[in-house]
Structure 1
Amino acid sequence: MPTLSRRLLIGSAAGLAMTGTARAQTRGSRALAVYKSPTCGCCDGWVRHMRQAGFTVAVHVVDDPGTVRRARGLPDTLASCHTGVIGGYAIEGHVPAADVVRLLAERPAAVGLAVPGMPMGSPGMEAPDGRKAPFDTLLVLRSGQTRVFARHNRTA
Structure 2
Amino acid sequence: MRSSQPDTVRRNGRARITAASAAIAAMALFGSGCAIPNFTTESRPTRELPPPPELSTPDLSTPELRQSTLTGSWRGTYTCPQGLMQLNLTLVQRSSGTVSGIFRFAPAPGNSDGLSGSFTLRGHVTGSSLALHGDSWLSRPGAYEMVSLSARLSSADPDQIHGTIQSPGCGTFTVQRR
The structure whose RCO (Cα within 8 Å, separation 6+) is larger is 2
TM-score normalised over the length of structure 2? 0.29
Q: Which has the larger radius of gyration?
A: 2
Q: Give the number of the structure whose residues are more often helix, by fraction.
A: 1
Q: Give the number of the structure whose residues are more often strand, by fraction.
A: 2
TM-score normalised over the length of structure 1? 0.32
